[in-house]
Structure 1
């Protein structure tokens, strides 16, 4: 089954473009690196050891990347003979030496000195899709290309070493994954159906080593020697329902566009790319023996920062920095570009689930809620009723505090509504089916509306099989043994966001995943009903998977695990334990954002090629840790939004502006029906009072009544944490921390010391409480 079904997925060649002519037999998975005084020799072979190739990398030119691929395909014996002859010809300079075994090239990089080659030296299998293995990186190695005799002298070797440490701090062993024969950077539907001929897969938004592999791809015009790394989350699990086993894969793909850390990447850039843009795919299929039809389904959803020009200053004095609307875009062009990109990727409709707060004592999130609604309304004016953006707002924080509200139950209704609009991907195949047969179904553009797929599910929707029998496109497999049902397709996507697109967003994505899982199992014939009750053990298993995914994505973007209060309450976890866990995660996230994220952002910028060092130019860390780099060759003076770069240590308050046009509600019949069943769900904008903030802050002198520009330092108070009768209040005095005239010390050391001392004190108090 593996060899025949493998033909579905295009082997990556011709500069990473997809080609149905490629066979997995040419896919090289294991490599051995040898060296002589003048060259590296990389020997690659396929899994069956019948396909051997040779790559030659020059070691004499320290400043250029010179790579040549031997066009000959060798047998194992012929390759051994070639290596023997190379050894004999280089005996005078030490001969041919074995360096390391590896599993693919991550790329090549140059800082201020020579080129380095990044290799995967250990891997681990984390799953498989129809026999196509998916791997994670267990160990990687960075090897300088020039030999020691020609290694150039570096004017500032300290900077070179620091750049190397920065790149190495992007830990490839955490959350990076790849596959040799399956395009793991693409969804299942795109791989099986929508794959565009000639598309350069390495240049798609989810391949994180696009920049690192650019040099070797340009030299060789193929990607036989490299692996495409996807960053995010991958987990495969097996379940059973009524004695029938199935596998579920949860995949999260993080975009490399506008990538970075929480406070340093917010909102949207000029190109329409948003921060924390993650595509989540849920694949479900039943394991059956060879010779019988195999069915597979998938559903895709999306999360991403609110697509407006907004930011929050990293602050060591404030747990919740003010939200700054930093650019007034009258025509919302960047927002429009973002949604046009979503339509290009997923089709219509685009359903936006906005979970941020509606009302606050001090407007923060509600500022963005108002402007986001204005932007959607402005964009919808130019769209047809059929293609308009569906904007749903539901204040999750408000409803989660109400004891009478079942948050997951209500979110499930929103999920079912979205699933009804988009449908999901379903395909039935056999081990004998070839790519041409899967691709022969009519494109979605050519299907009449009356027979439009995907099927739209609701509780009273016709059974999938009865619906499919009405479709005239039913074909037979070439051998005539099985009838192959036409696939159904997902059209459109649910896009969920809160402020960070981490905690609340993950809860909503779980609700959507649960609704989709019921429909997926129903389509596979495993369940009679498309509904899964929240009390079903399967719902708890899926919740654990989404919780793990949420924690992983939160660590990547926010610096701590996700706040899973709703999940903890669902499991009946002890309230005090939940509160302590949430509090520690808040502290961890605060510390990471204030002290670690700047260096982390620098590492990401180096890895993605957003900053390329040049001799005689300012180093990356000399440009200011709060800047967003876009420039090349060390000449960075503008950020990705085209704004001049400057650095501020403290948040200056809300910089906001009143919106000119009110938001008109354009609810269709489905939206009205949904809104009537869900409290607090609306497509219209709330009335939010806003006011202009003046910087620097004008403080009125009590005696003279005049305005003084004054910097006021106030204590930062962490919220009280109640545990039974005990209450812990942690207060950090910024005056004590930052204003120490009696000693000469670095401020960050003082703050770090104070923070650690407070943390130790907090742990001591908690231990005392738990022993009472």
Structure 2
């Protein structure tokens, strides 16, 4: 059993010829050896001599090959977050990159790759457990074979470090040149990690002790930043797909940050015993994800980007693949769409509804209106159950108009609309099987469907609605357990638990939003307090301005880091050259600096004290001249915004390349600077070729 679970203590030994990883608590286990500088893997039965012990680590995050070298990423510090059914969950706090070359080669691109990855890992909320599968919901875990190694049980979508673990996984499956066949001794070195949000809080409701848990798992497929990752890809993966599981555990005396209970009852990190009472587990799962058509929003430095619907009919096979997977995993899907029915968002709404009509056989549609809006609800339902796609149920809710004027209580109308679906949907309920060493559950109830919520970003409106759905189901669960009486809610019954519930969901909103948009979520004042406030609106304004700056000027490198970590870009396959070099004409690059100098001179001219007998006219001409230059620069930048957005360099987006070429063509025709730009570009092409040749030489 122990070999199926990752080692919780690993020592790293380094020498000029290899890195060796051993577990001091499992002296009989094989030593994992990574040969230097080749990166070949092998298992050694005895301890290798001659290696100097470097450090103790919490686990191996993975191995990544950049352009000039390969690196082993090890977890050097992990923070305990609490126990789930007795199993400790940890958060990755610090990592270290171990280069395979003894004298690492460096060039500008290699250093940039390393900086991107280190910054990305440091800011990413990643969690793991040595003895519990946090990639799967409790309902899926109950259906899995616990005799499989932990990493094999992991849900492929949420196994965040699977790409950088691929060397170890491939070695486990087929061995290496020195060792052929399956290598089961590698299992304990493969540690699955999730990206997302996880909080475990022991609490009580009306004096009944319980543990409240919220886990959000972000999919590793089509992951990225807000404007560089939208819609669906050809394989059926949608942007910003997250699965959120709300869990309550009753009679679980093993939660919290306690130790090993003096070593008693400790099995693979699991603490035994719950005072003789059945441990009850109840969980409720929701999903969120981008509208599953081909669409994009193109940054132009304008506050509102250009919206492109790039294909609905052409995306049918991709959307079918997406919903095939969703229905297989979750059952019926209730597709709650919260985008606006007016203005620019209407095109996304129409595209989604067109896609559902194309997927569902014989769709039946209906809509409702009121004084506020012509289309409060729009429902698309299948007329029968003739094919798999007829398990899709589309519900549009005009969230924006219904809640206008801080009337957020009206979002309750959506819950009323979904009430019968939520009643049928149920939730997962299981109890610990007595004396089961593997900690399996006796399943008493299944969740039979899922609500998949989206707005434009699947962040702010989405989280408000998800928290309301979670509240409704939690009230039902606590009533079924007998903690609440009929027609009672925890809001009225226990004010302190209400505060905890709101905080959990607001924290969840902020984590999901930060990883996608760069800031905390909007509208969290409503999630935290139940009231939409003016202070919250001011905070939202601050967040919106920060999002604008980050999405236009900082998200390019962040998207590159996603692509590097998740294997969407392979540096070892690049053609060389300075990939991160700014290829824009020098004049285009210099205009922001010229604008800054201009406004600096205007500021100096306007606020510097003048001598009493000095002439005023030359100073005014000086200020006016630099003001005109600065204003022209500002207008040029704003009019040609696509030239100044910080685009991803590793996987250029098609719409970005199209827009950039259109913008540069427009600048070439500019009467004032067109000829200067064209002249510089001729020289630049030669420089680009020379850089490419130099890159090839470095690789050789």
| TM-score tier (shorter) | 0.7 to 0.9
TM-score normalised by length of structure 1: 0.66
CA shift for structure 1 position 45 = 4.2
Gaps of 5+ in 2: 174-185, 253-273, 363-381, 584-644, 677-700
SS in 2 for 1:326: strand
CA shift for structure 1 position 162 = 1.0
The question of 1:246 aligning with 2:210 is answered yes
Could you say which structure has the higher helix fraction?
2
The Cα offsets for residues 263-317 of structure 1, whole Å up to 9 and x where unpaired, read as: 000111111111000000011111353332111111110000111111100121x
Aligned pairs for 1:473-512 (under 5 A) are 486-512=443-469
Give the 3 Å change call, closer, same or farther, for CA 193–371 of structure 1 in structure 2.
Answer: same
The question of 1:312 aligning with 2:297 is answered yes
Aligned to 1:4: none
The question of 1:70 aligning with 2:44 is answered yes
Aligned to 1:562: 521
Aligned to 1:544: 503
CA shift for structure 1 position 226 = 2.9
Q: Distance in 2 between matches of 1:521 and 1:424?
A: 12
The question of 1:397 aligning with 2:400 is answered yes
Q: Distance in 2 between matches of 1:428 and 1:534?
A: 26
Are the counterparts in 1 of residues 294 and 315 from structure 2 also a CA contact under 8 Å?
no
Are the counterparts in 2 of residues 125 and 134 from structure 1 also a CA contact under 8 Å?
yes
Are the counterparts in 1 of residues 552 and 646 from structure 2 also a CA contact under 8 Å?
no
Aligned pairs for 1:451-530 (under 5 A) are 486-529=443-486
Are the counterparts in 2 of residues 25 and 51 from structure 1 also a CA contact under 8 Å?
no
Give the 3 Å change call, closer, same or farther, for CA 131–380 of structure 1 in structure 2.
Answer: same
The question of 1:302 aligning with 2:319 is answered no
Are the counterparts in 2 of residues 560 and 588 from structure 1 also a CA contact under 8 Å?
yes
Identify which of 259, 262, 265 aligns with 2:226. 262
Aligned to 1:689: none
Aligned to 2:120: 170
The Cα offsets for residues 157-207 of structure 1, whole Å up to 9 and x where unpaired, read as: 111111111111212464110111111111111112255987944670111
Aligned to 1:407: 410
Identify which of 548, 553, 563 aligns with 1:590. 548
Q: Distance in 1 between matches of 2:516 and 2:2?
A: 38
The question of 1:112 aligning with 2:75 is answered no
CA shift for structure 1 position 134 = 0.7
Aligned to 1:719: none
Are the counterparts in 1 of residues 464 and 527 from structure 2 also a CA contact under 8 Å?
no
Q: Distance in 2 between matches of 1:368 and 1:311?
A: 10
Aligned length: 551
CA shift for structure 1 position 242 = 2.1
Q: Distance in 2 between matches of 1:437 and 1:406?
A: 41
CA shift for structure 1 position 539 = 3.4
CA shift for structure 1 position 541 = 2.4
Aligned to 1:205: 157
SS in 2 for 1:390: strand
Aligned to 2:101: 146
The Cα offsets for residues 709-748 of structure 1, whole Å up to 9 and x where unpaired, read as: 999xxxxxxxxxxxxxxxxxxxxxxx9xx99x9xxxxxxx
SS in 2 for 1:271: coil
Aligned pairs for 1:347-386 (under 5 A) are 347=331, 349-359=332-342, 363-381=343-361, 385-386=384-385
Q: Distance in 2 between matches of 1:648 and 1:247?
A: 51
Aligned to 1:292: 277
CA shift for structure 1 position 413 = 2.7
CA shift for structure 1 position 526 = 2.2
CA shift for structure 1 position 579 = 2.7
Are the counterparts in 2 of residues 322 and 364 from structure 1 also a CA contact under 8 Å?
no
Q: After the TM superposition, which of the residue ranges 610-619 and 423-432 deviates more from structure 2?
A: 610-619
Give the 3 Å change call, closer, same or farther, for CA 608–551 of structure 1 in structure 2.
Answer: same
Are the counterparts in 2 of residues 178 and 230 from structure 1 also a CA contact under 8 Å?
yes
SS in 1 for 2:538: helix
CA shift for structure 1 position 414 = 4.4
Q: Distance in 2 between matches of 1:272 and 1:109?
A: 26
TM-score normalised by length of structure 2: 0.72
Q: Distance in 2 between matches of 1:569 and 1:136?
A: 24
Q: Distance in 2 between matches of 1:114 and 1:54?
A: 23
Give the 3 Å change call, closer, same or farther, for CA 216–187 of structure 1 in structure 2.
Answer: same
Are the counterparts in 2 of residues 250 and 283 from structure 1 also a CA contact under 8 Å?
yes
Aligned pairs for 1:591-740 (under 5 A) are 591-614=549-572, 616-617=575-576, 620-621=579-580, 646-649=657-660
Aligned to 2:32: 55
Are the counterparts in 2 of residues 296 and 524 from structure 1 also a CA contact under 8 Å?
no
Give the 3 Å change call, closer, same or farther, for CA 504–336 of structure 1 in structure 2.
Answer: same
Are the counterparts in 1 of residues 203 and 210 from structure 2 also a CA contact under 8 Å?
yes
Q: What value does the CA root-mean-square deviation take over the aligned residues?
A: 3.4
